Amino acid sequence: MPSAPSRHDVVVLGAGIMGCALAHHLRREGVGSVVLYDGVHPCAGASGASVGALSPFPWDPWERGLVRESAQEYREISEKWGLGAYRECGGLWAARNEKDARWLERQIELARREGDGTEAVGPEVVARLLPAGDLSGARVVAHVPHEALLSSSEMTFAYAELASQAGVDLRWGWGAPAVERHSDGWRVRALGGEFSTTSLVLACGAWTGPLLRELGQPLPLSAFRAEGCRLRPGPLASPFPTYHEPGDGLLVRSAPGGRLLVTGGAPSLPADPASANPAADFAYLETIAGRFQDVLPGWAGSNVEGGWAGVCAATPDGHPLVGPIPGAPGLFVAAGFNGSGVMRAGAIARRFASAFVAGSWTELGPALPSRFPEGVRSEVPAPRSESFQAVSTE
Output the pLDDT for position 112: 86
For the chain, what are the domain ranges? 6-48+153-221+316-381, 90-147+223-312
Output the pLDDT for position 324: 97
Output the pLDDT for position 248: 87
pTM: 0.92
Output the pLDDT for position 194: 92
Output the pLDDT for position 30: 97
Output the pLDDT for position 192: 73
Fold designation for 90-147+223-312: D-Amino Acid Oxidase; Chain A, domain 2 (3.30.9)
Output the pLDDT for position 184: 86
3-state secondary structure the chain: CCCCCEEEEEEEECCCHHHHHHHHHHHHCCCCCEEEEECCCCCCCHHHHCCCEECCCCCCHHHHHHHHHHHHHHHHHHHHHCCCCCEECCEEEEECCHHHHHHHHHHHHHHHHHCCCCEECCHHHHHHHCCCCCCCCCCEEEEECCCEECCHHHHHHHHHHHHHHCCCEEEECCCCCEEEEECCEEEEEECCEEEEEEEEEECCHHHHHHHHHHCCCCCCCEEEEEEEEEEECCCCCCCCCEEEECCCCEEEEEEHHHEEEEECCCCCEECCCCCCCCCCCHHHHHHHHHHHHHHCHHHCCCEEEEEEEEEEEECCCCCCEEEECCCCCCEEEEECCCCCHHHHHHHHHHHHHHHHHHCCCHHHHHHCHHHCCCCCCCCCCCCHHHHCHHHHCC
Mean pLDDT of the chain: 90
Residues in the chain, pLDDT under 50: 1-2, 382-394
Fold designation for 6-48+153-221+316-381: FAD/NAD(P)-binding domain (3.50.50)
pLDDT tens-place string over residues 11-48: 999 999 999 999 999 999 999 999 999 999 888 888 98
Output the pLDDT for position 31: 97
